[in-house]
Structure 1
Amino acid sequence: MIRILPWLAALCLAFLTQSPAIAADKEPIMVGSVLDETGGLNVYGKAMADATKLAIKSINDSGGVLGRPLKLVTYDAQSDNSKYTTYANQLALRDRVAVIMGGVTSASREAIRPVADRNKTLYFYNEQYEGGVCDKNVFTTGIVPSQQIAPLVDWAIKNGKKKFYVLAADYNYGHISADWVKQYVTKAGGSVVGTDFIPLDVSEFGSVISKLQEAKPDVVFSLLVGGNHIAFYRQFAAAGLSSHMQIVSATFGLGNEQVVLSPKEASGIVVAFPYFQELGGASNDKFRESWTKAYGANYPYITDSAVAVWNGWHLWAMAVEKAGSTDRDKVIAALESGVGFDGPSGKVSVDAGTHHLVQSVHIARANESHGFTVIGDQQSVAPGYERSVCNLIANPKMARQFTPSNAN
């Protein structure tokens, strides 16, 4: 267990409260963000962009970092991966930022990552993903398959459901995650009877519904992504399959699907994330209060992706304070010392060797109030697979992504 130092806990508390303003003559620290605020992936990017602005305000309201304000430079990638490469270069070379945070899909992460590595600009990817990235220059704050897919499979198996059908988005996240589902299902004693990869622009699922009716799985494991794929859940319910098959998902809720869909279409779908808006605790109460103050009481839902962003900014700021500098190597060393705090989702801390997070995981079921009911949790879950293949302390020059084939 990584010990959270008292001074770090105090610093984090300061970020959630008000403190004296930053001196007016202090030179700002330039920081950068690039997300999908428009286009088909803005169902994820909007909340993440809102979390970015709120995190920067929170840090600046508490005195900034090293007594200096943060100046945020933001770009909207418009759901176009080529723009991620362009804007990452601009942030590193023209804007000279101390850190880049951004990317929604895994494809966008892989557009940013080589640019950040090449330009020696620290990079945070704040989204759940298919796992396996091992890169000295990269820190990831989202949940990974050993923390998410494995518990979902175990939940289904323990509830007597052993026959799985996988539906996945047709890009690297979907393909790699589908492999993880198959591995975890097989290990748990179940079977995968079918897998379909769905392009992001598809919104007609008639043929998929027919396949499900023929295969009769106990579980439909959804790795669907984006606004178009929301149609699957509506068509699944309309076909009357909800009473015969259990949907579990590693992505449902990140795009506020439970808000868009009717209770009949969404209720009962089971998911696993570190954060749900309904979680208790003083840190989440304070966070929700600040979010509501900034964005209003009618905000659809605060997503897990938004909190992964919040965590990323605060962990970086705490590391800079500990390092006493924005120098990349010094900040990396500070992060690797096990920086952590009690955030909205509970206790989070940086896992030194993998640059992922140790964090709590909550299993929840979509309810009839367009939200989630938590039905189980696991505390301080480590990125198990990443630990087995990635040790950036021993191998600091490593910069690659491990996939399920490496786990065999």
Structure 2
Amino acid sequence: MHSTAAHLCSDRRDILLVALVIPLHGPAGIVGPSCEFSAQLAAEELNAAGGILDREVRLVVVDGGAEPHQVADEVAGLVALGAVDAVVGWHTSAVRQALAPRIAHRVPYIYTAQYEGGEVTPGVFLTGETDIQQLAPAMRLLTEATGARRWCTVGSDYVWPRVTARTARRFAAESRSSVVDEVFVPLNTEEFGPALRRIEASGADAVLMLLLGDDAVRFNRAFTAAGLHQHCIRLSTHMDENLLFATGAEASEGLWAAAGYFDSLMTSESLSFGHRYARRFGDEAPVAGSLGESCFEGILLLGALADHRRSLTVPAPPGPEETISYEGPRGALRLRGNHLEQRLYLARADALDFEITAQL
């Protein structure tokens, strides 16, 4: 095993291999292609500028849609062999919790998904939005704009939705609202009838959707078919354009999303990224969306960390006098501790697009 790892390392001194951990199947598999394309574009652009520490960046795609312990076993095995130099990816918090203790002390690990917050494992860096950053102001703005005050949480039954649901109860109280019910369903739920009946019985006028990928799509369609959209809004922190397209225009009425990036974001940085992405992968490629584009950010942050420290050893978070920053599709960003600071937005679904209504 050790001789194999040494052989791998000696053969690729000019190559930097990054395990890209993204869902290729399961409910979140719908965003896998945009994650891979976005990370590939970032790697290609970094390589055109000289790579990371003068090494060519190559991606090793790992299916993050498997059971968390299986993903952790596979990635930890690659790290132990010396077959990858860093780990980047969008995957569930359950996968992150299984993976971080096994690799974060060995290689840089950059987690790009919006998540519940609170990750402090040394060696883990996070580009995604957190509940405190986006959920509290989004709920407050929607309460003010729509008058909705009775929230029902509908989430997948694992760590991110469970923790976020607890946080949402506090946020609701702070905006003089309340969470009147919470419903958790297994991943890959096909039938949402029981959940819809709970929403209706609760008298909720707003739903906090904490569902992944295809589960969110099926819920949106069932929600609208039941007529609940006529008196109940929905807010999601994991809804991008790919999921909106799959949902369909007829099931998007009253749907809101919060994120750090939308394809409709009209900044010079986002417009440039959208143009480069379309030129590289063509008009038929899935849109990047906030979920896929986060992997572009993850690769850029890896480059910024390595360039700042001139090393790929596991970096400590920057101190108060130290600035680690870069510019990407979300604008000029910098690390505060182990989290990326960024602008966040609230958007309303308009058929098959998102109309940004406020910066959070």
TM-score (norm 1): 0.80
Structure 2 residue corresponding to 1:358, chosen from 322, 327, 341? 341
Q: Structure 1 pair 336/131, CA: closer, same or farther in 2 (3 Å)?
A: farther
Q: Which of 102, 127, 138 in structure 2 is aligned with 1:141? A: 127
1:231 maps to 2:218: yes
Paired residue secondary structure (2:17): strand
User: Can you give the 5+ residue segments of structure 1 that lack an aligned partner in the other structure?
Assistant: 1-24, 379-408
State the SS of the aligned residue for 1:88: helix
Distance in 2 (CA, whole Å) between partners of 1:95 and 1:336 is 33
Residue of structure 1 equivalent to 2:186: 199
CA distance in 1, matches of 2:166, 2:30: 25
Q: Which residue of 2 aligns with 1:180?
A: 167
Q: Distance in 2 between matches of 1:72 and 1:240?
A: 45
Are residues 1:376 and 2:358 paired?
yes
Deviations along 1:82-116, one digit per CA (max 9) or x if unpaired, are 32112221221114432111251101111210111
Q: Is the 8 A contact 1:33 1:72 kept in 2?
A: yes
Percent identity over paired residues: 25
Task: Indicate yes or no: 2:14 matched with 1:39.
Answer: no
- Residue of structure 2 aligned with 1:285, choices 261, 265, 271: 271
User: How far does residue 289 in structure 1 lie from its aligned partner after superposition?
Assistant: 1.5
Which residue of 281, 284, 292 corresponds with 1:306? 292
**For residues 222 and 332 of structure 2, what CA distance do their matches in structure 1 show?**
38
Moved more, 80-89 or 355-364: 80-89
SS at match of 2:229: coil
Residue 71 of structure 1: CA displacement? 2.8
SS of corresponding position for 1:146:
helix
Alignment of 1:336-347 (within 5 A): 337-347=322-332
Judge which range, 256-265 or 29-38, deviates more.
29-38
Paired residues, number: 348
Pair 1:258-2:258 in alignment: no
8 Å CA contact 2:217–2:244 kept in 1: the answer is no
| Structural mapping, 1:11-90, within 5 Å | 27-90=14-77
> Structure 1 residues 26 and 201 mapped into 2: Cα distance closer, same or farther (>3 Å)?
closer
Matched residues in 2 for 1:237 and 1:178: separation?
A: 23
The one-letter amino acid of 2:108's match is L
Distance 1:211 1:332, change over 3 A: closer
1:267 and 1:150 map into 2 onto residues whose CA distance is: 22
Aligned: 1:274 with 2:260: yes
**What secondary structure, in the 3-state scheme, does the structure 2 residue paired with 1:328 have?**
coil
Report the counterpart of residue 318 of structure 1 in structure 2. Answer: 304
- Quick check: 303-312 or 91-100, which moved more? 91-100
- Secondary structure of the structure 2 residue equivalent to 1:275: coil
CA distance in 1, matches of 2:76, 2:236: 34
- Check the 8 A contact 1:30/1:73 in 2, yes or no: yes
CA pair 189-305 structure 1, distance change in 2 beyond 3 A: same
Distance 1:250 1:319 in 2: 27
The alignment partner of 1:373 has SS state of strand
Could you tell me which runs of 5 or more consecutive residues in structure 2 were left unpaired when the two chains were aligned: 1-11
- Whole-Å separation in 2 of the counterparts to 1:287 and 1:335: 31
Deviation, structure 1 residue 279: 0.8
Which structure 2 residues correspond to residues 104-253 of structure 1 after superposition, within 5 A?
104-117=91-104, 120-159=106-145, 160-253=147-240
C-alpha distance in 1 between matches for 2:80 and 2:244: 40
Give deviations 1:168-211, integer Å, cap 9, x for gaps.
11111110011111110012111111110011121211122222
Q: Residue in 2 aligned with 1:394? A: none
Do the aligned partners of residues 351 and 363 (structure 1) sit closer, same or farther apart at CA in structure 2, a change above 3 Å counting? same
Distance 1:103 1:162 in 2: 32
Deviations 1:32-83 (A, max 9, x none): 2222123332123322122121111111111112222123222224433232
Change (3 A) 1:272 1:218: same
Letter in 2 for 1:184: F
- Measure the CA separation in 2 of the matches of 1:191 and 1:52: 39
Determine which of 92, 116, 135 is the counterpart of 2:79: 92
